Structure 1
Amino acid sequence: MMTNKRRIIDFTLRFLIYICSLFSVLLLIGIIVYVLVKGMSTISISFLTSVTSVLKGTVGIAGNIVNTIIIILITMVIAIPIGVGSAIYLNEYATPGKVVTVIEYATETLTGIPSIIFGLFGMMFFGERLGLGYCLLTGSLTLIIMVLPLITRNTQEALKTVPDSYRNGAYGLGSGKWYMIRTILLPSAMPGIITGAILAIGRIVGESAALLFTAGSAKMLPKGIKGLMAKPFQSGGTLTIQMYLSATSEGDFDTAFGIAVVLLIVVLAINLVTKALTKHFDVTRRE
């Protein structure tokens, strides 16, 4: 009787797990299909390569794409060295104690703070106190604070997965600490570091609340090299900002769903790139 009862319980739990898994898959498929059906008719070469202009009668998101790329580049160029460096310090140099505990606790707390609070802080500190105003640089500096915990924690976990035998072997061969970190530790932890960096890019691409307070909403393309160099100091709306404005202020749901399709493709591409790079570095490390 106990055996039959256990079989019934196992079958019931397995059935519930399958139902939950099926619901998750169907939910994802439903969202993707709904967005594609609503937005694919808006996607065109003109939509991706032009800007919205009443005089020319065009509707496009090229300016928003450029703004998004600029914010990603500025944020990641600054955040990756700081995040990876912080993780190396915490994992390899810092002595376990109250200071490390406080730093790790602060990092975890930053991860849970709502993005709109980051936006308010960025507007008041970077925009008002430092005098940067509404511009892409203000938005990037705000996003750096947001993605640093993600990069730091992922890098820490990646460093912890490297066996201690690698460190001891390097020391036994006469290697210095920094040489060991640079040639042994970082290459071995590279899959986790890349995963953290790409997940940070995904958060940057999908962020809107913080950028509403800091980056502004301008959508014009920069003119020439000088215009491109000056763009970080000018107002600029990303794809998510434009999607929000199109759906709320302008009532243009066709454009909003078109941008949603672009964002959906970008997110799927980021996930595929993450898996491909992780697999590549795993294979390289084993070889």
Structure 2
Amino acid sequence: MRHETDLPQPAPVRWSTWLLLAGLAALVVGSFASLPLKWRDFFSSEAMASTLDFLHGFAPPELSPGFLSKVGVATFETLAMSAIGTVIAAVLGFVLALPASGRLGPVARNLTRGVLNVLRSIPELVWASILLIAAGLGPFAGTLALAFHTVGVLGRLFADAFENCPPLPAATLRINGVQPTAAFLYATVPQCSPQMMSYTLYRWENNIRAAAILGVVGAGGLGQMLKYHLSLFQMQQAATVIVAMLLMVASVDGLSYLLRRAMTR
């Protein structure tokens, strides 16, 4: 019979952990103290009445056939931007993940990870603003903006997946005389492919939302329609565009969920 003294005791919490928690708590308190949060004004009856009056202008949505056809074209444009941008990013991210995972030496690893850090640290809106100057208005600049930012994200995730992949299958092939490239393609990539595909699908979901926002700076799609109608205070047309965005995002989220479940079975 085991005594209580025989049970494993929890590890003591180090002082650095308490110091980190105290620092985080101080940051939270300082953030609330420094921001001019006017909760009373936000929940006042006047603010509520103004908000309800503003939302009332969105009803009913515009449902004329001509306008719905324009929304359908813009929806397809947004989907195409996100899909093409994600595919380009997945291909380039896979290529950059090879040196970023340390397979070509530490120098190549550090340089490539530096490039990936720069690519993903610049938001899509900033990329779109820069590329609109070179590529002009339209979905081409938006697609490139999504691709540039997503390359940095997927490249880092793919590189981490390669680094964390169990080395035994590839090492077994190498011991039996298989070339390093073949061992990587037949052992490492198949092990990492479900995780990489999951990352790619997740980023596609994010790029759907980002593509809808990039139109605000003139990159085409539903975002450009939304900005146009809101700037003219055409709230009913804007409501139709917003509903199309919600339906599109919900559909892509459901499709991505089904694909991820199918891959994990």
Question: What band does the TM-score fall into relative to the shorter chain?
Answer: 0.5 to 0.7
Contact 1:39/1:261 (8 A) holds in 2:
no
Paired with 1:59 and 1:41, the residues of 2 have a C-alpha distance of: 18
Alignment gaps of 5+ in structure 2: 1-55
**1:259 to 2:241 alignment:** yes
Query: 2:97–2:156: 8 Å Cα contact kept in structure 1?
Result: yes
SS of residue in 2 equivalent to 1:64:
helix
**TM-score of the superposed pair, with normalisation by structure 1:** 0.61
- Would the alpha carbon gap of residues 266 and 178 (structure 1) be closer, same or farther in structure 2, given more than 3 Å must change? farther
Q: Is the 8 A contact 2:124 2:145 kept in 1?
A: no
Contact 1:154 / 1:192 at 8 angstroms: preserved in 2? no
Structure 1 pair 259–119 and aligned structure 2 pair: CA distance change class (3 A): same
Q: Which amino acid aligns with 2:142?
A: G
> 1-side partners of 2:116 and 2:185: how far apart?
24
State the distance in 2 between where 1:265 and 1:210 align.
18
| Letter aligned with residue 90 of structure 1 | A
Q: Which amino acid aligns with 1:82?
A: L
Classify 1:138/1:84 alpha carbon distance in 2 versus 1 (closer, same or farther; 3 Å).
same
Q: Report the CA distance shift for 1:242/1:93 in structure 2 as closer, same or farther (over 3 A).
A: same
Is residue 93 from structure 1 mapped to residue 96 from structure 2 by the alignment?
Answer: no
Q: CA shift at 1:61, angstroms? A: 0.4
2:223 to 240, 255, 259: 240
Structure-2 residue corresponding to 1:206: 209
In structure 2, what residue type is equivalent to 1:75? G
The counterpart of 2:152, out of the listed 149, 152, 157, is: 149
1:166 and 2:169 are equivalent in the alignment: yes
- Normalised by the length of structure 2, the TM-score is 0.65
Partner of 1:137: 140
- Are 1:186 and 2:180 an aligned pair? no
Structure 1: how far apart are the matches of 2:222 and 2:128?
A: 17
Within a 5 Å distance, the mapping from 1:67-82 to structure 2 comes to: 67-82=77-92
Q: In the aligned structure 2, how far is the partner of 1:114 from the partner of 1:76?
A: 15
**Counterpart secondary structure, 2:106:** coil
Separation in 2, partners of 1:154, 1:40: 43
Displacement of 1:88: 2.4
Q: Deviations over 1:4-51 (max 9, x none)?
A: xxxxxxxxxxxxxxxxxxxxxxxxxxxxxxxxx9989649xx67xx54
Instruction: Say what the alpha-carbon RMSD is for the aligned residues.
Output: 3.2
Residue 110 (structure 1) aligned with residue 93 (structure 2): no
Q: Secondary structure at the match of 1:174?
A: coil
Where does 1:111-130 land on structure 2 (aligned, <5 Å)?
111-124=120-133, 126-127=134-135
Whether the aligned pair in 2 keeps the contact of 1:191 and 1:277 (CA below 8 Å) is: no
Q: Which consecutive unaligned segments of at least 5 residues does structure 1 have?
A: 1-36, 53-57, 128-132, 216-236
Whether contact under 8 Å (1:161, 1:189) holds in the other structure is: no
Residue in structure 2 matched with residue 63 of structure 1 by the alignment: 73
Following superposition, the deviation at residue 164 of structure 1 comes to 1.1
